Amino acid sequence: MPADTSPLLLGPLLRFVGEHEATIWVETTHAARVEVHLDERSWSAATFVVEDHHYALVVVTDLEPGQEYEYTVTVDTEPVWPMPDSPFPPSSIQTLQRSRPTRLAFGSCRTSVPHDEEYHRSHGVDALRTMALAMAKGSAERPDAVALLGDQVYADETSPAMLDFITSRRDTSKPPYEEIKDYVEYAHLYRLAWSEPAIRWVLSVLPSAMIFDDHDIRDDWNSSWAWRQEMNRTSWWHERLVAGLSSYWVYQHIGNLAPEELAQDEVWRLVGDRTDAAPGEADITQELRALAVRVDQDPTAYRWSYTRALGESNLIMLDSRAARVLEPDRRSMLDVDELAWLDEQLVGGVQHLFIGTSVPYLLPPGLHDAESIGESLAGPGRGALVRKGAEAVRRTVDLEHWAAFQSGFQEVFDLVLSVAKGERGPAPSTITFLSGDVHHSYVAEVDTSAADVRSRIVQAVCSPIRNPMPLGIRMLMSQMAKSLVRPMRWWAHRTAGVDDPPLTWQLTAGPWFDNNLAVAEVDDDGRGLALSWFTGDLVEGGDPVVRTVSSVRVDGLTAPTGSRDPQGASGG
């Protein structure tokens, strides 16, 4: 069936995959029943509707660990996937197996522009698409999952194709001008991001764990109280935020959750309740809009963070945007409820612990001090001119990562050290923060030589997938990791309100500035971790080819625990 007449508008996306279950997400052109078929078995779901757009999330059950299952999709019994004459291999579900070492891809910041000579010059080669093409040809190994760490879409930097759609429906001389305005435009933005053939195929075979960052909503989202107040005074921000969070829930969030977690979601339950009461299509538009409004007013009203089991390792994916506390006298990256939730999740008893946070937890040391200084200068007790200047610098240079929320940074550091010391069950071999956002990649490691810890504590950053940093800023970022470290430390020591971190860290690899997709791979014996960054190189007359940018080995300090049950673990 030609793509333009297919009832399958977008997808399928393979989202959650465990040992026995999987979820598959689709968008359709109309109300329908969607079926997933494998091994002469099938599972189905009715579509639900948001803002006149139709979606389904099909839960596939009763699978066996460590198996690969090819699948097909029908809409109202009409075959829609795979697409006719597809050049890609059949889509399949590869279930987890605890004895198989984890292989997790990760990265962030991917712009959706054409893959031609013009945009290769301006945006570089798409690292995710390059990896997809290599996987399809069998020249790249398939990861267990990919963690997409923010900026899956850019609501404030629209491409020519997106701008064509916007101008076809409204006047761009009025706010919000050429930025995304409402849910309809967000829906088209996601379609542009996920419909390129290689991207569409790889998202149908590679389970994905996603979290938002600022550009999914708008640059500097929740960077400060002053920023928030300024945005709330505009005529268009309320609708943008409601549309952004509503579409994020539909396109990204529900697929993050395991089926048992999904069943507890307050909005998702409405889909089942209404379908059971009156078979057909449940419209949850108003409830989803109300949730977005409530979340904006009170971050504790809903949790976007979640966990994902990965064989003998765990991934904790943290919301480091919507959960922020912004009042100048009590700034924190995480509100009280979110911090309490993280406290519960940070336990030992796993081989490796991954903490996904869209903005890096450990910045290059000089940049960390610059952001901490900036928070102090923009805070209470400073003169009006100093506060205003510091706020302007904060927004201009994006000084709003964990280091600019010192309270939350210190609290999370203490929790992580507790895990690394074995106080919350057997210590993992490694504790690795996975992040993006900053448009350069690096590895940083905490110096634990003076601490009684049993885990290596590492920050791994992969950014961008496709959105390179300007050359001038690259030079500054390099200096923040090298020659500016001591001057910034000197300044931080002499700035009131800047706390010293519990331990120090330094970059052990990088920075590098290629478009990248990274992979974290656990050793066969479970002890060490290999981190690799891959980019794409153009080949005349052919598809881009994968090139390794850097490989870093992280040897664990302890033997693997062999247990994933933190309730049965003992400290010490």
Q: Do 319 and 329 contact (CB within 8 A), yes or no?
A: no
**Where are any strands of DSSP class E within 393-455?**
430-435, 441-446
Q: How confident is the model at residue 561 (pLDDT cuts 50, 70, 90)?
A: low
Q: How far apart are CA 399 and CA 223, in angstroms?
A: 8
- Domain assignment present for 346: yes
Q: How far apart are CA 64 and CA 51, in angstroms?
A: 37
Read off the pLDDT of residues 325-384 as tens digits, 9 standing for 90 and up: 999 888 999 999 999 999 999 999 999 999 999 999 999 999 999 999 999 999 998 999
Q: How confident is the model at residue 525 (pLDDT cuts 50, 70, 90)?
A: confident
- The structure tokens listed for 94 are 């590869």
Q: How far apart are CA 61 and CA 20, in angstroms?
A: 6
- Domain assignment present for 74: no
Cα 304 to its chain centre, rounded Å, is 11
- Work out the average pLDDT over 238-254: 98
Is pLDDT of 563 > 60? no
Q: Do 313 and 102 contact (CB within 8 A), yes or no?
A: yes
- Domain assignment present for 437: yes
Q: Which of 417, 343, 414, 361 is nearest to 566 (CA)?
A: 343
Is pLDDT of 566 > 50? no
Q: Do 481 and 474 contact (CB within 8 A), yes or no?
A: no
Read off the pLDDT of residues 429-444 as tens digits, 9 standing for 90 and up: 999 999 999 999 999 9
Domain count, the chain: 1
- Work out the average pLDDT over 484-502: 92
Percent of the chain at pLDDT exceeding 90: 87
Is pLDDT of 1 > 50? no
Is pLDDT of 532 > 70? yes
Q: How confident is the model at residue 569 (pLDDT cuts 50, 70, 90)?
A: very low
- Domain assignment present for 85: no
Q: Which of 132, 305, 278, 277 is nearest to 206 (CA)?
A: 132
Where residue 158 sits, what CATH number does that domain have? Answer: 3.60.21.70
- Domain assignment present for 159: yes
pLDDT at position 560 is: 56
Q: Do 186 and 180 contact (CB within 8 A), yes or no?
A: yes
- Domain assignment present for 142: yes
- Domain assignment present for 503: yes
Q: How confident is the model at residue 473 (pLDDT cuts 50, 70, 90)?
A: confident
Lowest mean pLDDT segment, chosen from 33-37, 58-62, 471-475: 471-475
**Where are any strands of DSSP class E within 377-492?**
430-435, 441-446, 456-461
- Domain assignment present for 106: yes
Q: How far apart are CA 131 and CA 534, in angstroms?
A: 8
Domain of residue 211: give its range. Answer: 98-568
Read off the pLDDT of residues 112-171 as tens digits, 9 standing for 90 and up: 999 999 999 999 999 999 999 999 999 999 999 999 999 999 999 999 999 999 999 999
**Helix/strand/coil percent split, the chain, to 5:** 35, 25, 40
Token match 């904060």: residue? Answer: 394
Type of residue found at 236: W
Q: How confident is the model at residue 222 (pLDDT cuts 50, 70, 90)?
A: very high
Is pLDDT of 3 > 80? no
Q: Structure pTM?
A: 0.95
